[in-house]
Amino acid sequence: MDRKQCCVKLSVQPSRGLVDEKFTILVQNTLSDFQLTIHALHHSEDGHTWEAFAHYTTNATGTVNVSEDPSLGGTFSGVEPMGLLWSLRAVPGSPPGIRMRKVNVQTPIEVTISVYQGHQTEGFMDQVPLASVVVERWYMAPGVHRIPITEGGLTATLFLPSGRGPFPGLLDLWGGEGKLFEYRAALLASHGFASLALDYLTPKIIMDTRKRVDNEYFETAYRVLEQHPQVLSSSIAMLGLSLGASITLKMAAYSQVIKLRCAVCISGSHVQPVDGTLEQMFAFFHENAGKIHINEENEMICRYLLLPIPTDPVLKVDVGRLKRPLLLVVGEDDQNWPASESAQDIREMMERAGNSHLLTVLSYPNAGHLIEPPYTPHVRASTFKTVDTRVPFMALWGGEMVAHSRAQEDAWRKTLVFLRENLYGGTNLLQPQFPISNKGDN
């Protein structure tokens, strides 16, 4: 195409929004039956570069609408409105095993969307695009407040929704890597939940005492939420992924302090020494370390560590004690944790106890362990360090990209509905609005 003959117009709407908000990509003012490539580029905070691209052919009016028209190839195929986000992958030459995670939630994820002539697969950085737009995707909606929490020895961050409270509360726990990850809690606050992101594996109190936290640490976090003037003390939930799901189940079943309205467990298991501390839980895992498999790619498969599901009641949470709704989110190709087998056993235990009406299971074929908020790029395996050894290894999480991406979108939507129904009584929450920006449209 002669650039003098045609000035391609590219628009992305909304150009600024939450990470779980869909956008529309429209290419106009080209020739009919014109082959083009739409490319997405992101430079992450850790210095790595990610890209995705898709091939299209314009219609009779010289237009491509990514929400309606099929990709003919690239990092994804078919009609996929958000494929340019969920199919992002590290550019060639990047270190193996990296994972894209937002650290500073007070800044957006910036993605440059560009249009190139022809169906291309490489060399994008060496060319001048026909048009480009920079889009912003945020975890924090306008008006959400971020409050670091250190009281009671906690290492945590509280996110309060915009507007007048009080709001339902939510305690957010990640898995076995440790560190304080805030992005999911920030996004939950953007949807109306006062969310406390809690570091329970590498908090300052562990650095000071050299001892792992005990149940009192989680109960302290719960009390911080419960006593906050902007939180509805009678409407608090816990949400955990992986090891965080194990903690969530244990607290929901046994704690005399934590009184939840509901709980969400993603890619977790109830298998653990129920009378033990967190230290004893890790000791239990180490005792079973011989069950871990290593595949031909030298990737570690940890799901066998808790298999077969024990019959001894002292080795699994008595979920028959649960008195509030429980949502389990399961990837059926989870290679890190036996989430499917655990969900089946939890269902059977609750049926025997007569409380299975409280259980909802979302089970997704070909989805892996890391079920994150929508449009997060799928990572089948990545470098991982446990908090005890700090020795890096390649962990196999599982999942197939398209199926996993579908699972993330569906599970997030249904999780929000579950939380609204149980914490807000089904009240529709207002969707946070970003100012529309036309910056960068061509």
Residues labelled as active-site residues: 242, 334, 369
In order, the DSSP letters of 145-185 are EEEEE-GGG--EEEEE-SSS--EEEEEEE--TT-S---HHH
Nearest to 343 by CA among 357, 359, 358: 359
Residue 122: how many other CB atoms lie within 10 Å: 10
Annotate 377-386 with b (16+ C-beta within 10 A) or e (fewer).
bbbbbbebeb
How far apart are the C-alpha atoms of 169 and 392, rounded to whole Å? 35
For the chain, what is the total number of helices (H) and then of strands (E)?
Answer: 8, 21
Q: For the sheet containing 16-18, what is the strand order?
A: 16-18, 131-138, 109-117, 35-43, 49-57, 89-90
Which H or E run includes 133?
A: strand 131-138
How far apart are the C-alpha atoms of 143 and 362, rounded to whole Å? 32
How far apart are the C-alpha atoms of 212 and 178, rounded to whole Å? 12
How far apart are the C-alpha atoms of 426 and 419, rounded to whole Å? 8
How far apart are the C-alpha atoms of 147 and 275, rounded to whole Å? 33
* The two structure tokens encoding residue 273: 């020494």
The answer to whether 164 and 206 have CB atoms below 8 angstroms apart is no
The answer to whether 12 and 133 have CB atoms below 8 angstroms apart is yes
Which H or E run includes 341?
A: helix 339-353
Residue 409's SS3 state is helix
Q: CB-hemisphere CA count at 13 Å for 279? A: 6
How far apart are the C-alpha atoms of 139 and 104, rounded to whole Å? 10
The answer to whether 53 and 39 have CB atoms below 8 angstroms apart is yes
How far apart are the C-alpha atoms of 246 and 306, rounded to whole Å? 12
Point out which residues pair with 171 in neighbouring strands.
Answer: 196, 238
Point out which residues pair with 301 in neighbouring strands.
Answer: 293
